[in-house]
Structure formats: C-alpha cells, structure tokens
Amino acid sequence: MTLLEPAGLLSKEDVAHHVASFMLQDLRRFQMFDSSATRPYTVSAMACWKRASDVGYITLNKDKKVCINSSKVMPFLLSSSEKFEQILDAEDAQDGVTIERVLSEMEEAESAEIVQQMLSQLYSKHRQQPVRVQ
C-alpha cells in the first residue's frame, strides 16, 4: 500500500478506504479471541490495532467509540512495513531471538487500551449483550 499511492496506482482516498476496510475486517479476530486455531491471526490483529493507535490512526473518543484519522494512514502503513521488514530480515538471518522478541511484543499488545476496548465490545466472554448486526 505504501508504494501504490506514490506510484499513482491508487489515490490517497483509495488507500485510506482499503486500510480502513482491512482494519475493520480484523475485528472478527477479537470475537474469536480464545480460539487456538486462529490465535496467530488474533495476535497479528492486536498488534496491528495497537500500532494504529500508537500513531493516532485509530483512537477512542470520549465515549470509547472508534475514530479513524485518515490523515495518519501513511504513518500507520510505514510503521507496519517496518515491523514486517524486521520479521523478514530476522527470518532471512535465521535470527530466532529477534523473531521471539517480536512475537512477544505483538502478544503484549493485548494490554493496550484500544485492544482491551475491542475485546470488551466484541469478545463474547467480556460483553453483556450480544452484538446485533443490522
């Protein structure tokens, strides 16, 4: 995504739309938080939402509702690209210590405020009422 807009293949609006769609699709991972079958995807989603929050791309308003700041989409994508490249470099170097450290950092994202809020709203063992889709 970081290459498509500068190359003229997508507009800034298109990039913002597709990244927001990706982030919203990741919400299903919070619903299946305790599934061992999807745990790697859940850890990835938690880390992604934390990174988005860290750069201000996704925030919570005073009512704890999700807000997306499209002006922060590129800092979020750059942060995500750096993390991905770190993982790839560690794999190429067969650097298990770095891979384990990155995994640990990703798992620690569970304690981030944005992740805890998503879990409280979406994970069935945390919420009081079922989420109704309309």
Q: Is residue 4 part of a domain?
A: no
Q: Is residue 23 part of a domain?
A: yes
Mean pLDDT by 10 residues, the chain (134 residues): 86 94 92 89 96 97 93 95 96 96 95 93 66 54
Pick the closest to residue 131 from 48, 16, 31, 64 (CA basis): 31
Contact 30, 42 (CB under 8 A): yes
Residue 28 sits in which domain range? 12-122
pLDDT of residue 87: 96
> What are residue 60's DSSP bridge partners?
66
- What are the tokens at 97? 């210590």
Pick the closest to residue 28 from 123, 126, 114, 130 (CA basis): 123
Q: How many domains does the chain have?
A: 1
Please state, in angstroms and rounded to a whole number, the distance separating the CA atoms of residues 80 and 53. Answer: 12
Q: Is residue 28 part of a domain?
A: yes
pTM of the model: 0.85
